[in-house]
Every structure is written in structure tokens, then in C-alpha cells.
Structure 1
């Protein structure tokens, strides 16, 4: 019998929290035993506290769990705390838990760029978990803090990783088309986005290059040497429920081989695939040859939303073009959190 990792979930009633609740329902060795949300919900059963928007019913194992606070006393008997807290609440709450000895795997932005905190997209940089050794030495924390990237950076970094060895990039220009769910369930008024495109998303154009360069950086002597890619991002919000798309133009030194690029993307595998981890997609990057793909209505379902879809791969003299699409709530948030914990177990960090 497999020893289960007992986890609690902060921010369990939000969109990302609900995804995690559903994805953990039948997990072979991670057991969700505690759920937490805002103070007004403490003491209620999960089914009473949540406005459930997932397509399936609330998992029976979770439906009657009582809502707990974010205080350390309510999380002492779990192995790991997973966090889907809003950014404005996460820093104080997570830091208190880490200082008191908890392992926290978080989807929120505070501490992502801290040199002692690994920023993990499991297929891309699982080896950066080595930073936890440095974190133990440098921080006065009894526990550990691990961060997931911004949802858009998580999706965009997937095809950039296998292209490292094939493409000498002089500059990377990205225009994103990001779903309204990225702003949260109540984050964007219907009247603001219906039939509209908003060509600015607060903070995103700074986060994307910073986080991608950290994730694609090399681990040298227990620290990250940044990748140094020149990434220029224009972020837009579009009237789509789920799915973040990136139109990527890479300025290259000379022409690259289009078929070699596609082959590299299709064949990309990493430790999560090698170890056959439960949440890992068998094929992390689905390369589509149709001229009009990928599309959010058709191409978010691969491996339960954990794969990204890449299409429109075109190589010209000095330029490589491609479009990437991913599920911002799964690959960009809930699923990446769970997969990170699976990698940590595999490598002995939990």
C-alpha cells in the first residue's frame, strides 16, 4: 500500500482551487484532507462554502470537509500545503506557514523571483528544486517554499525549452491572447470584455520575460544563471473563457529547419514523462499541422489539459514563427501545482 501525502489546500473555493479539488479526487498517492478559504467560510462544509463551477459534482471525499483557517494550528497534521490563494493574500499567509515548518507549493506570485525559491514548471526545470538546499541555508525558515510560474509564462516556456539547442534567438516577440478566466471568476465584468479585446493586462508584460528567463536558466553552484533571452511581450485579454494563446516570433541567426523544429517539439520529454508521474502528460507538446490550429474550442483537452498545443510553425530567413495554446487553469495553475508535488516526491523532497 502506498503511503499517501496528506495535503491541505488554501484558496480551495476559487477557480484554481476547484480544479485542484477535482484533480486530486482520485489521485493514487496525494490525499486532500483539509480545505481552507476566507474567514467567513470557516466551519462550513465545503459544499456549503463553495460556488461550484466545475462540470462534475463535488468529489464525495471533499464535499463534507469542514473549512479551516490559514493558521498553522489547522495545518500541523498535513505533509504539504498547496496554495491557490490570491496574490494579495498569499505572501503573509504562506510565509507564516513556511516559517513554522510547512512545505508550501504555491501558485501565487510573491517570492517567484527570489533567488532562493525554485520557480518550477516540471518538464522545463525540475532540477531547480536543488535550490531548496540553498533555501534551507539562507532563509530562517523551518519549512520550504516552492513556486509555480505565472500561467502564461508556464505555457509559453513549454515550446521554448526544446528549441534551446536548435535556435539561437536574437529576440523573442510574443503577443498573447489570454482568456478571461485568468482574471478569476469575478475578475472582469461581462460588459468590459463581451465583443472586445483589451490590449493590456496588469503586470503580465513584466512577469513573462522575468519568469521565463529564470525557468530556462542554468543551475550552477546551487544558484540560477538566468537564460538572458530578450523577450518582448504584448499581453491582451480576449473574450474566451479558458485558454491562453501566445503568438511567438523568434528572430534567429540564419534560417532554421522547419521539420527539425517540429520533430524536436513532438519528441520533447522530461523527467515527469520518464517517471510516468500520474499528472504528467504522455506528450507534453502536441504539434498540429492544420493551418487553422490551435484553437481554444478544440485543442485544450489533450491529456486532461496538461499538454500544450503548438501550430503554425513556419521558418523563414532569420525568423521562426509558432503559436502555442494551453489551459491556463490546468497547465498554467492547478495541474502544474500537483505535478510539481509529484516530482518532489519522486526526488525525495517530500
Structure 2
């Protein structure tokens, strides 16, 4: 299997740092360029980054000289992985695409474009197939971190669901590392995150829908979302109430979740969790402090009353919801011979 050469944009931010860490000693992906804001260009990565995540800066990355986001600096890579902030990603990624450079991006611009696959590999890897009819280079998007987490346990149940009611409890790291100051959140809960509820609704409907070249048909289920920010550093949770089309036995729901596997597991891709959805039996699970898994989604408090299913879902917003999903998407594309 040939190796894939990548560059990482936004490499000094939280998501970018996780990409750098997860790609250390990867079996077939090589990081050859790291990019950061203009004030850091030309500096060594190890000198420029304020390392927030567990462990040390990987040795391979320490001496890489940071480059700009300009296309000229990324002409010799196979794929650019973008961890840029939403407010700058659109213009930067457009320039890269116009210069013939492939992009897998964690940022929100173009996620709902009919011609752009929005990919959570276990959920809708098959949407990548539209790239076979794409002439030239391509853009692939990750979903919003919370939508990525929630869509995992929904996938094996999607044909049973009539509508969804979701309340999220999202950690401060979802707002970037500046959120970790706790200035506004310490001892508090903020019951509003700008734009989040709309993203979760639209993106879940796209991922669970049908994709064809230049078009997608949404899943079409009503999704009612309330998003909150809570004083937890890492991990996003959601309390989901799903109105089912008909009553269903709780054990059948749990078996469907536990037995769920998809192409990343079948292909044994390096970043794929062996068990993508973990159903936890403890009455007080899942908890971010005890049950957070980098790539798997943890599910607890599963109950069915009449035709309403309740479950509590937990996932790692920085790995499963951002850096890890980017890498798993790239691995999936390599497996499908799209790279």
C-alpha cells in the first residue's frame, strides 16, 4: 500500500495537536507539512505550539518548520487536513481547491453543499463513492463534533425512528482551548450555543440520508435539539429521546447497538475502534471522567417506554468528533482506492 503525504492546517490548535499526535508512526500516512497562523510561520513546531493535550509533542513534529496556508506551500502533498477555525477555513480551503489540492476538513463551511460528502465513516462511508465521478480534486467534510457522536448510535436504529428530541451537554473544549479558562462557565451551565442546534439537525439528516453526485436526499426525520455548554473539559454528552415507529423491546435495541459494525471495522482500519458503540450497564454511565473513549461512543441509561427510546450518549469531541474522524475518513478513502 502506497503512503499518503499530508499537511495539517491549524496544527497548533487543539484539533490540530490531536492530528499531529494521532499520526505519529501511522502505518501509511506521513505528515510532511505543518501550517499555522501568519505570526508563527517560519518557526519550529516545537517552539511555536502551546501543547495542551496529554503526552509530549511527538518527536517527528518538533523540528518541522511551520508554513503558511497558501497553496504554493502545499503543492507536493496528496491531501491537506484542515483544522482551521470556521471563520477563516472557507477562504483558505477555496484557494487550495482552486489550485488543485485535495482537502479533508473539520470546518463547517460547505458541509451542506450538495456536491460535498459529509462523512462519519461508520455512518455513511458509502457517500464517499460520489468522488468517483468527480473530475479533478475534491473536498470532503467532517460533521460537527456533536453530530458525529450522536449519529453513531442512531445509525443501527435509523429505520426505526420517527422523530428525535435531543439535549446536549457539551464540554468547554468544544469552544477551543481558550474556553478552558472557565471564565464564563465555572459553576455554571449555558443553555445556548450559537448555531449548534441547527448544525446538529441538518448534519444528522444529511449523514443518515442518501447521497448522489451533486445532490443528497435528507433522512427527513424531525430533530428537536437543545444545546448546552457545561463545566467539563473534555467530552460531549447527549440525552436522546427517540420516538419509534412502533414499540420495541429494550434488549433488541441494546443488541442492535452492541452488534453495530461498519466498513472501518471490517477493514480493520488503524484508527477505527473495534467496537464503535459501547453499551455500558452501570446505572450511572456514561460519565466523561470515567467512560470517555477516543474513538468509540459510549451509551448508557437505555430504556424503552411504549414507543419512546431514551439513551445517554458520550463521545470525545476532539478525537471522535474532530481529529480522529479526519484521519479515519482518510484511511477509509485509501481503503476504497479514492486516493
TM-score, scaled relative to structure 1: 0.94
1:114-125 to structure 2, matched below 5 A, reads 114-125=113-124
**2:115·2:214 contact (CA, 8 Å) conserved in 1?**
no
1:153–1:164 distance in 2 versus 1, CA, 3 Å:
same
Aligned counterpart for 1:248 among listed residues 240, 243, 263: 240
Whether the 8 Å CA contact 1:134–1:222 is kept in 2: the answer is no
Work out whether residues 114 and 214 of structure 2, in 8 Å CA contact, stay in contact via their aligned partners in 1: no
RMSD: 1.2
Pairing partner for 1:159 from 137, 153, 169: 153
Q: What's 1:193 paired with? A: 185
Cα offset, 1:231, TM superposition = 0.3
Looking at structure 2, the residues matched to 274 and 3 of structure 1 have their Cα atoms a distance apart, in angstroms, of: 20
Q: Which residue of 1 aligns with 2:75?
A: 76
In structure 1, the gaps of 5 or more residues are 137-141
| Paired residues of 2:130 and 2:212 also in contact (CA < 8 A) | no
- 1:157-189 Cα offsets, whole Å, 9 max, x none, are 001100024x2x332100000000000001465
Aligned-pair distance for 1:131?
A: 2.5
1:134 CA drift (Å): 5.1
Counterpart CA distance in 2 for 1:20 and 1:111 is 21
Contact in 2 for aligned 1:179/1:244 (Cα 8 Å): yes
What TM-score comes out, normalization by structure 2 length?
0.97
What's the CA shift string for 1:50-87, capped at 9, x where partnerless?
A: 00112211111110000000111110111110000000
1:205 to 178, 189, 197: 197
Q: Does 1:144 align with 2:138?
A: yes
Q: Which residue of 1 aligns with 2:287?
A: 295
2:269 corresponding residue in structure 1: 277
Q: Indicate the residue corresponding to 2:66 in structure 1.
A: 67
Mapped to 2, the partners of 1:94 and 1:314 lie a distance apart of 44
**Does 1:260 pair with 2:252?**
yes
Distance 1:171 1:103, change over 3 A: same
CA distance in 1, matches of 2:78, 2:282: 45
- Structure 1: how far apart are the matches of 2:221 and 2:246? 17
Task: Give structure 2 stretches of 5+ with no counterpart.
Answer: none
Superimposed CA distance per residue, residues 210-237 of structure 1 (whole angstroms, 9 cap, x where no aligned partner): 0000000023576321100100000000
Q: Any idea what SS the aligned residue of 1:56 has?
A: coil
Q: CA deviation at 1:348?
A: 1.0
Deviation of 1:246 (Å): 0.5
Deviation at 1:191, TM superposition (A): 2.5
